[in-house]
Amino acid sequence: MSKAEAPDALLLLATGCAHCPVVLQHLSQLLKQGKIGRLEAVNIVEHPQVAHSMGTRSVPWTRIGSFELEGVLSQGELERWIDLAGREEGTASYLSHLLESQRAHGAVAWLQRHPDALGDLLSLLNSPETPIVVRIGIGVVAEELQGTPLWKSVLTDLLPLAESPDPTLRADVAHYLGLTLSKQAIEPLRGMLDDEHPDVREIAAESLELLQGENS
């Protein structure tokens, strides 16, 4: 990675934190190596407003590029996130990490700050390699965002997934279309009432009932 591409890093630490000096040392080394472009370290005991603005109470807390990471991280782990920060698939990997570590609420907050990453969330939904725990986490995210402009914005991207040969994915799409609470989801869902799989038909009917109640 060239210096021009190197992401910046922010570390939140606190006086008395046993793990914070370790992460600071790793990041300082990576800064010297040119793998990060700039390092800012903030003691949240002295500047609690910074932790509040980041939505965290725990340290060490590290941001690499746009990726927000909690807890002690080895130098190898930090290098992995630095590498992913420069890759097209990095955002999907980051969202998968949040959901695998059961931080769906954190994923929601992060997506609200980075709405362009919703397409990466849907790419996880569409991948057969996505673990079940991540798929469950996607459902939690969708339900938390139900009816918001942010979730409505995924409607167009959901529609192609409704044509998937995988009935489980089609059933998920039927559910997530309903959670948009958008009138524009009504016709696609009506089409799914004729799906060959009973689960898809059932969920499409439930989503239509939800939408008709919201738009009556």
CB-CB contact of 64 with 11 (8 Å): no
Tens of pLDDT, residues 49-100: 999 999 888 999 999 999 999 999 999 999 999 999 989 899 999 999 999 9
Helix, strand, coil shares of the chain, percent, nearest 5, are 60, 10, 30
DSSP type of residue 183: G
pLDDT in tens, 132-165: 999 999 999 999 999 999 999 999 999 999 999 9
146-216 belongs to which homologous superfamily? Answer: Leucine-rich Repeat Variant (1.25.10.10)
User: What are the structural domain ranges in the chain?
Assistant: 1-87, 89-135, 146-216
Contact 178, 189 (CB under 8 A): yes
CA distance 138 to 92: 12
Q: pLDDT band for position 2 (50/70/90)? A: very low
Residue 179 neighbours by CB distance under 10 Å? 23
Q: What is the pTM of this model?
A: 0.90
Give the DSSP H or E segment for 54: helix 48-54
Pick the CATH number of 1-87 from 3.40.30.10, 2.60.40.420, 3.20.20.70, 3.30.420.10: 3.40.30.10
